[in-house]
Amino acid sequence: MVNGGIALEKRGLIAIQNVRKSFPQGETGELLVLNDVNLRFEPGEFISLIGPSGCGKSTLLRIIAGLAQTDSGVVTLDGERIVRPGFERGLVFQDPTLFPWMTIYENIAYGLRSRGVYREEKRTIPDFFQLVGLEGFEKSYPHHLSGGMAQRAALARALVNRPKVLLLDEPLGALDAFTRMNMQDEILKIWREQRMTMVMVTHDVDEAIYMAERIVVMSARPAKIENVITVEIGHPRRRDDPEFLELRAEILRILHFAGTRADLEYHL
């Protein structure tokens, strides 16, 4: 229980077994994106997925979210096969995707209304405004907010349903560097308080090192797992720490030898 009444569901164990995913290409062909991917994310872990553009990171995240289906293989959450979206998995995109005609309060409350539990759970909504630092903006509309504040609202909207897993698809990619670093700290704060499983797609090597407990490095399409790196640097992390710089160099080397010279971003 944190922040005056936010109680969590049990944390989520994600198992990805022999996953293959392709998309139709042309009249008879197919574009193979994921090929025999096997991963296991422990309950309460913070995982970053990193790799070249188009390698299948977001596709894998969408499969975990239940928004896409595998050609073969199985993805489970706490032993239950994922076949459709569910409220136990929150999803935050690069674009906050807030409903512009709704106030921030109404946007955050939307998930509770969708589940039919607004009457019972509405008392908890102020706790989520506090959690993401948006007190005082309940009656504002999305166009009143900065990019960082809008993304805070999107986080609260995903968290209000108390998911076991929070899926983050490049959630900070559209922000300026200063706001991005602040939001990294905000997400880490939420993760430390809530200890739910978080899986984040990013192109930013420094972001992955700064935030994650483990980094999954994926190859160019069709994606395979090049390496899974445990980040053994304590929090808070410093971007100029020698261990940080050494790990960055290692990840960039892995990505280079994985056959990509993709546009990799990293912020000092």
pLDDT at position 221 is 85
In a domain? residue 95: yes
Q: What is the CATH number of the domain that holds 67?
A: 3.40.50.300
What are residue 45's phi and psi, to 5 degrees?
-80, 155
In a domain? residue 39: yes
171: CB partners within 8 A, 6+ apart = 92, 93, 94, 151, 154, 155, 183, 187, 200
In a domain? residue 266: no
In a domain? residue 4: no
In a domain? residue 262: no
In a domain? residue 144: yes
Give the separation between CA 61 and CA 51, rounded to whole angstroms. Answer: 13
How many structural domains comprise the chain?
1
In a domain? residue 2: no
- CA 6, 98, 127: angle at the middle one, nearest 5? 15
Half-sphere exposure of 235 (CA within 13 A, CB side): 12
Domain, as residue range, for 37: 14-257
The whole-number mean pLDDT for each consecutive block of 10 residues of the chain, a chain of 268 residues, reads 47 94 84 94 97 91 96 96 94 93 96 93 94 95 95 95 95 91 94 93 95 95 91 92 95 73 43
In a domain? residue 186: yes
